[in-house]
Amino acid sequence: MNSGVKYRSRPLRSIHQAMAGLERVGALDKETMRNFDVACLTPVVDLTPSDIRTIREAANMSQATFALALNVTSSLVSKWERGEKKPGGPSLKLLTLASRKGIAAIL
């Protein structure tokens, strides 16, 4: 199991680990486990430009430093904050985690 996985809560983490054990011994099929994975892990949410700026400012980071934490360019962070582009994929997942749990959750 990936130790970098972020769960919605500690109880869901414990339940998920128990279910993963059941899958490893064949007591749970892979499709059920995949569905359970989705239910336990932190979902992504759409973020407004203001939301993204708030996350960055709460972390007390410049756009350049925030970009390094997200593994993107500072110009992309600027475009997100101006609403010229929207984050997607892994960037949106990292931003969602930072929004819910603070910047330390992704560093």
- Give the CATH number of the domain where residue 76 resides: 1.10.260.40
- Asked whether the beta carbons of 19 and 36 are under 8 A apart, the reply is yes
Q: Which residue has the tokens 């500690």?
A: 10
Q: If residue 69 lies in a helix (H) or strand (E), which one and from where to where? A: helix 63-70
**Does one domain contain both 36 and 56?**
no
Does residue 38 register a pLDDT over 80?
no
Please provide the average confidence, as pLDDT, over all residues in the chain: 88
Q: What predicted TM-score, i.e. pTM, was given to this entire model?
A: 0.67
**Does one domain contain both 90 and 64?**
yes
Q: Does residue 4 belong to any structural domain of this protein?
A: no
**Does one domain contain both 55 and 87?**
yes
Query: What does the pLDDT look like over 68-85, one tens digit per residue?
Result: 999 999 999 999 999 999
Lowest mean pLDDT among 13-17, 46-50, 91-95, 103-107: 13-17
Domain range enclosing 25:
10-40
**Does one domain contain both 92 and 55?**
yes
Q: Does residue 2 belong to any structural domain of this protein?
A: no
